[in-house]
A and B are shown apart, each in its own frame.
Chain A
Amino acid sequence: DAGITQSPRHKVTETGTPVTLRCHQTENHRYMYWYRQDPGHGLRLIHYSYGVKDTDKGEVSDGYSVSRSKTEDFLLTLESATSSQTSVYFCAIRDSLGTDTQYFGPGTRLTVL
């Protein structure tokens, strides 16, 4: 494993409430990613970061925002959760030693009622 933890691991919330998911890494990787996994869609990129305070949108960024104030933490926020955001969310880092391989965290299962 690449020293990635995610919190919480499970969350149930109600429509319209804000939700923040946290990804923490211990190996000082520059690139971090947030994906969502839904049946039949594989993994889709939400947002990514290429450094502290440097972030960009992915394929499915609507309704999500991110922040990275420290190298080790990458936060994903759902400003006002909707049922369509019920999903499993994975954080990933990109190996900075030249292999460009992404390694994934354990995931957060989010249910929006």
Chain B
Amino acid sequence: AQSVSQHNHHVILSEAASLELGCNYSYGGTVNLFWYVQYPGQHLQLLLKYFSGDPLVKGIKGFEAEFIKSKFSFNLRKPSVQWSDTAEYFCAVYNQGGKLIFGQGTELSVKP
């Protein structure tokens, strides 16, 4: 079965530090990839998505992600995090059956 793996369950950073959250998926075909963010007590919001074209995707709030097909990865990055980036981040990929498969999530805590 297709799966999505997020390597870090909880990441703690200080403000202005750089962020990279790992995401690997198991499906080898054409993929549509997403990163969602969930702020405390809120619903999931779309950060960015990759469907085709430039493998470096820019999203909202200064986030970007790079699709590396050979590594089955779609890592999320931000050069300088803020306290307001404290949230849980989910990577997701559509599987062959057209269903969205989510990773377990990474909780990011940013210290002011």
Contacts and interface: CB of A to CB of B under 8 A. Distances in A.
A44 B1 CA distance: 14
A58 B32 contact: no
Interface of A: 33, 40-45, 48, 58-59, 90, 99-107
Given A43-B102, A100-B32, 12 more contacts: A40-B9, A42-B103, A42-B105, A45-B99, A48-B99, A58-B99, A90-B43, A101-B34, A103-B46, A104-B44, A104-B45, A107-B43
B82 interface: no
Interface of B: 4, 9, 32, 34, 36, 42-46, 49, 51, 90, 92, 94, 99-100, 102-105
A44 B90 CA distance: 12
A67 B51 CA distance: 31
A42 B44 contact: no
A44 B49 contact: no
A90 B43 CA distance: 8
